[in-house]
């Protein structure tokens, strides 16, 4: 790495500095748009006690689910955690702390965290278990709760294309939480399908500017599909 | 006869208006997309970042990068747009979606809804449901009127953890179309062949029954 060149060539280098008990913000929705190789690297490193913020926690043998068998995750902040038997077992047994967070609130927590906004008021969750312990305020006749934003020691992100400077383009619904996650990491690591030279991406079409990105690695993606659904011919 | 899942979807579809942006939840609400009336244009919002969701793909069109909120492979309709999750929930929380249709375990006379958790049994998470019920003005809840054991799901007070407080005004069950206002359920329509007495029997919360309750046209 030098200057604005963010490219690293090994996963060891990509995740260097990740230590026990750190917080990791992860992009992805279900198994769509997840940094597959970076998750595999965390599994390989065996880092423990992690707090992970991600919309979901993968499935038993793929995505963030890979970090469950060796109990690498201490706490997960997610909106939906179905489709994962080992997850359910650890949660029910009290081995895994789960902070269920509404999807829009989770996205906004990451966005706000990356933007230097420490908290925000939202109507989402008022009168529900999500509101417990949170400041409530009536603004112009409506009740809101105060939600604190989220930042991570690391953010792990999946993008479609990047240039060496870390400018990112996402593809279809694989974008999801990735742009917000990219802004919310002290160290943001991005795994991409293709790396091009600066100038090759149209500046008008860059979704995430390289200023948010610290490390960039080209990965090979399985892109597993959770619910393969086709229309009848 | 109680409505089938498809008939529920058909009845909901009658509430669609030309030019509506609509978010359909997982399950019965998803089926509504099959019954969009001819001659009107509706744009479906999928909260994982797609406005203008198309039909399911053919084998050749399957793309792992293009899914809906239920993680099913989908396609994009002409004029679709793609965006990130914060943008998606800006649409939802900012009240820009014209109609939201979602399922529930229970609703009550005060418009409370419980749809995401059964303590000790089902703890999968709320996904986008809390944002949807808090952000939308026009919501239709679709659900069965009572459990298999005949226990009403239309209550005086929800017993399960809430997804939202005081946010539901319309409920379509397999037996009835009901409006919630002034702390009461109001019977608007009944499913074909279902009697008012059957509906009263299976509605635990206070139900206002007008003299004439029309049958649904499904």
ipTM: 0.96
Residue B176 clears pLDDT 80, i.e. is over it: yes
A28-42, A60-74, B23-37: the lowest-pLDDT one: B23-37
Structure confidence by residue, pLDDT tens digits, B84-102: 999 999 999 999 999 999 9
CA distance B214 to chain A (A): 35
Reported as type and span, the H/E element at residue A161 is strand A152-163
Per-residue confidence band for B123, with pLDDT thresholds at 50, 70 and 90: confident
Q: Which residues pair with A59 in a beta bridge?
A: A62
Burial letters B36-51, b for 16+ CB under 10 A, else e = eeeeeebbbbbbbbbb
Residue A2 pLDDT exceeds 80: no
Cβ contacts (< 8 Å) between B94 and chain A: which residues?
Answer: none
User: Which of helix, strand or coil describes residue A183?
Assistant: helix
Distance from CA of A145 to the nearest CA of B (A): 12
Q: Is B47 known to be catalytic?
A: yes
Name which of A103, A128, A226 is nearest B162 (Cβ-Cβ).
A128
Cβ neighbours of A223 in B, within 8 Å? 64-65
Q: Please say whether the beta carbons of B102 and A78 come within 8 A.
A: no
pLDDT recorded at residue A233: 67
pLDDT digits (tens, 9 = 90+) for A137-184: 999 999 999 999 999 999 999 999 999 999 999 999 999 999 999 999
What does the pLDDT average to over A219-230? 96
Nearest residue in B to A222, CA atom: B64
**CB-side exposure of A60: number of CA atoms within 13 Å?**
6
CB contact under 8 A, B67 and A177: no
Please give the model's pTM, rounded to 2 decimal places.
0.97
Handedness of CA A36, A38, A44, A49 (dihedral sign): negative
Contacts (Cβ under 8 Å, ≥6 apart) of A16: none
CA distances from A59 to A34, A100, A185, B12 (A): 12, 17, 24, 33
A179: closest chain B residue by CA: B84
Instruction: Please report, for residues A35, A37, A46, the alpha-carbon distance to residue A17 in angstroms, rounded to integers and kept in the order given.
Output: 18, 16, 13
Q: Contacts from B95-98 at CB under 8 Å and sequence distance 24+?
A: B95/B135, B95/B136, B95/B137, B96/B21, B97/B21, B97/B22, B97/B23, B97/B45, B97/B132, B97/B135, B97/B136, B98/B17, B98/B19, B98/B20, B98/B21, B98/B22, B98/B138
Rg (CA), chain A: 18
Say how far apart CA A46 and CA B132 lie, in whole Å. Answer: 38
CA distances from residue B194 to A28, B3, B9 in whole angstroms, order as listed: 45, 9, 18
Closest Cα in chain B, distance from residue A176 (Å)? 4
Contacts of residue A115, defined as CB under 8 A and 6 or more positions apart, other chains included, come to A183
Residues in chain B within 8 Å Cβ distance of A129:
117, 161-162
Whole-number pLDDT of residue B120: 83
- Angle at CA of residue B177, ends B174 and B180, nearest 5°: 125
Give, in order, the Cα–Cα distances in Å from A130 to each of A124, A225, B10: 9, 31, 34
Contacts of A32 in chain B (CB under 8 A): 48, 64-65, 67, 71
Give CA–CA dist B116/B126, Å, rounded: 5
B114 pLDDT band (50/70/90 cuts)? very high
How many contacts does A have with B, using Cβ atoms within 8 A? 172
Q: Span B138-164, mean pLDDT?
A: 97
Q: Which of B47, B87, B189, B206 is catalytic?
A: B47
């Amino acid at each position: 790495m030098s200057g604005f060149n963010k490219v690293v060539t090994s996963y060891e280098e990509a995740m260097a500095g990740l230590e026990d008990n750190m917080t990791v913000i992860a992009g992805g929705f279900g198994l769509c748009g997840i940094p597959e190789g970076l998750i595999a690297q965390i599994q390989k490193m065996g880092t423990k006690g992690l707090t992970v913020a991600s919309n979901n926690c993968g499935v038993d043998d793929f995505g963030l689910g890979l970090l469950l068998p060796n109990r690498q995750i201490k706490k997960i902040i997610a909106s939906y955690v179905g489709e994962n038997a080992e997850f359910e077992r650890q949660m029910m047994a009290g081995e895994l702390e789960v902070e269920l967070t509404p999807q829009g609130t989770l996205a906004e927590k990451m966005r706000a965290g990356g933007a230097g906004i420490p908290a925000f008021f939202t109507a989402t969750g008022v009168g529900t278990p999500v509101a417990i312990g949170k400041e409530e305020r009536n603004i112009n006749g409506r009740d809101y709760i105060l939600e604190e934003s989220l930042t991570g020691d690391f953010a792990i992100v999946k993008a479609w294309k990047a240039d060496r400077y870390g400018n990112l383009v996402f593809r279809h619904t694989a974008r999801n939480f990735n742009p917000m996650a990219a802004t919310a990491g002290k160290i943001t690591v991005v795994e991409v399908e293709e790396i091009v030279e600066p100038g090759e991406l149209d500046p008008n079409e860059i979704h995430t500017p390289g200023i948010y990105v610290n490390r960039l690695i080209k990965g090979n993606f399985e892109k597993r599909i959770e619910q393969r659904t086709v229309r009848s011919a | 006869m109680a409505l089938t899942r498809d008939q529920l979807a058909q009845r909901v579809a009658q509430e669609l208006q030309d030019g509506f942006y609509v978010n359909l939840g997982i399950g019965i609400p998803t089926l509504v997309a099959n019954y969009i009336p001819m001659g009107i244009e509706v744009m479906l919002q999928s909260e994982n970042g797609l406005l203008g969701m198309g039909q399911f793909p053919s084998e050749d069109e399957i793309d792992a990068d293009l899914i809906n909120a239920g993680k099913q492979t989908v396609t994009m309709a002409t004029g679709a747009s793609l965006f990130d999750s914060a943008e998606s929930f800006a649409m939802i929380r900012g009240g820009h979606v014209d109609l939201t249709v979602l399922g529930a375990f229970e609703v009550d006379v005060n418009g409370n809804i419980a749809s995401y958790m059964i303590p000790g049994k089902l703890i999968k998470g709320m996904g986008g449901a809390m944002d949807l019920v808090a952000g939308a003005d026009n919501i239709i809840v679709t659900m069965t009127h009572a459990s298999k054991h005949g226990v009403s799901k239309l209550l005086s007070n929800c017993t399960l953890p809430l997804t939202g407080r005081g946010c539901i005004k319309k409920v379509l069950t397999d037996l009835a179309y009901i409006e919630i206002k002034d702390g009461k359920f109001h019977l608007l329509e009944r499913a074909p062949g279902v009697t008012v007495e059957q509906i009263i029997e299976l509605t635990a919360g206070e139900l206002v029954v007008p003299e004439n309750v029309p049958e649904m046209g499904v």
